[in-house]
């Protein structure tokens, strides 16, 4: 029997546990190392990185909502070259799986970034085709099977590293998008990115977010995410990384039962920065009580 009951293999990569801070909520990890060693995490999905430095959108970029929040950061990041030069060497010393989250405004930008990462120490690529906060590219590719397939194909060709496509929930049929990614050679899919939303300040009659609209995350989206993970996991033969409102170990178990092999945690970090380590502790107890390896529960929900 394996001593570490949380260990899992995903796209051929060994994860000591399935808990990963979600892209865009954890920077490149440095800030959270002040709370706990990054080596306690299964992996880290780094801030979405583009070909060139991006300043992002004007503030305010965040608005609270019932059981959640909207954000409109707009992919602020230092650019791929700076990531490779300044952030990756640091992350490499942390003994955790490094997932490079990448985003582009054009097909060739995705190709360029994936190509640059191919010869680096990142373990896998998570391809963001679902950012709701940028004008060009981003979600535009993720809302059609054709767009999602095109980006998958181009990234697949540019790298030998495992490719995980990050899907948008702002679509009619997310399972068909996942299938399009699988058909073009994706090794995995991750979902869900944020749901497009809006809040208005009733006193000044203007949107709270300067970008007018933004992405909804937090516990409010959790049931939507579980449903989509379940639909996608049943539609494809590649593994699924689930996220969207996970804030406790019970949520993580629920999403794994729906079909997720890995779990990303985002907005919950803002409520409690210790959330990932609390979830890992809770999962260990759960496996002990249920006398099971965690990977064996994936997708085992029995539908009515």
Partner 1 sequence: MKYCQGLYPIIRKENPAAEVYGLVILCPEIAAIAKCGQFVNIRIDGFTLRRPVSICEIDRQKGTLRIVFQIRGKGTDAMSLLNPGDLIDMVAPLGGRGFTLQEGANAIIIGGGIGNPPMLELAKFYGGNATVISGFRNAAAVILQEDFKSTGAKTFLCTNDGTAGEKGFVTDILGRELQTHTPDIICACGPMPMLKGVAAIAKEKGIRSEVSLEERMGCGVGGCLVCACRTVKDGEEIFAHVCKDGPVFDSKEVFPNE
250 binds partner 1 (CB under 8 A): no
Give SS3 for 49. Answer: strand
In the set 104, 147, 219, 276, which binds partner 1 (CB under 8 A)? 219
| Residue 274 contacts partner 1 per CB under 8 A | yes
- Using CA of residue 250, residue 175, residue 27, residue 157, what is the dihedral sign? positive
Strand (E) or helix (H) holding 106? none
User: In the bound complex, what is the minimum distance in angstroms from residue 299's beta carbon to partner 1?
Assistant: 29
Cβ atoms of residues 107 and 150 within 8 Å? yes
The only residue of 273, 278, 293, 301 in contact with partner 1, by rule CB under 8 A: 273
Regarding 32 and contact with partner 1 (CB under 8 A), the answer is yes
Q: Which segments of the chain are extended strands (E)?
A: 8-10, 13-15, 19-21, 43-45, 62-65, 68-71, 97-102, 124-128, 163-166, 188-191, 195-197, 200-201, 206-207, 214-217, 240-243, 262-265
Query: Does residue 131 carry a catalytic annotation?
Result: yes
For residue 31, state whether it binds partner 1 (rule: CB under 8 A). Answer: yes
Catalytic residue among 11, 131, 181, 241: 131
Q: Which two tokens stand for residue 160?
A: 């030998």
Cβ atoms of residues 192 and 167 within 8 Å: yes
Would you say 150 or 248 has its CB closer to partner 1?
248
Per CB under 8 A, contacts with partner 1 among 199-218 are: 218
81 binds partner 1 (CB under 8 A): no
The residue from 103, 240, 267, 280 that contacts partner 1 (CB under 8 A) is 267
- Among positions 6, 38, 41, 69, the unique one binding partner 1 when judged by CB under 8 A: 69
Closest CA to 17 of 290, 304, 278: 278
Nearer to partner 1, 117 or 267 (CB): 267
Rule CB under 8 A: which residues touch partner 1?
Answer: 24-27, 30-32, 34-35, 47, 55-65, 67-69, 71, 73, 76, 218-219, 267, 269-274
Catalytic positions are 131
């Amino acid at each position: 029997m394996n001593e570490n009951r949380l260990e899992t293999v995903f796209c051929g990569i060994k994860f000591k546990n399935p808990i990963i801070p979600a892209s865009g909520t954890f920077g490149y990890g440095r800030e959270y190392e002040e709370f706990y060693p990054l080596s306690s995490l299964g992996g880290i999905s780094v801030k979405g990185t583009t070909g060139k430095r991006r300043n992002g959108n004007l503030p305010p970029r965040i608005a609270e909502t019932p059981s959640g929040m909207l954000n409109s950061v707009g992919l602020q990041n230092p650019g791929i070259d700076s990531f490779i030069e300044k952030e990756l060497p640091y992350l490499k010393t942390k003994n955790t799986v490094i997932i490079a989250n990448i985003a582009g405004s054009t097909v060739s930008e995705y190709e360029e970034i994936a190509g640059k990462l191919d010869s680096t120490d990142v373990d896998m690529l998570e391809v963001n085709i679902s950012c709701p906060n940028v004008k060009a590219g981003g979600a535009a590719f993720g809302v059609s099977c054709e767009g999602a397939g095109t980006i998958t194909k181009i990234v697949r060709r540019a790298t030998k590293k495992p490719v995980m496509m990050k899907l948008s929930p702002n679509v009619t049929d997310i399972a068909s998008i996942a299938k399009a990614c699988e058909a073009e050679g994706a090794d995995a899919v991750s979902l869900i990115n944020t749901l497009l939303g809006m809040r208005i300040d009733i006193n000044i009659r203007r949107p709270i977010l300067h970008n007018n609209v933004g992405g909804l995350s937090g516990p409010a989206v959790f049931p939507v995410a579980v449903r989509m993970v379940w639909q996608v996991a049943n539609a494809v033969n590649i593994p699924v990384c689930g996220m969207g409102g996970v804030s406790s170990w019970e949520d993580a178990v629920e999403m794994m039962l729906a079909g997720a092999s890995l779990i990303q945690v985002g907005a919950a970090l803002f409520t409690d920065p210790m959330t990932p380590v609390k979830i890992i502790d809770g999962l260990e107890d759960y496996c002990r009580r249920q006398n099971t390896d965690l990977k064996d529960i994936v997708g085992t929900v029995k539908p009515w």
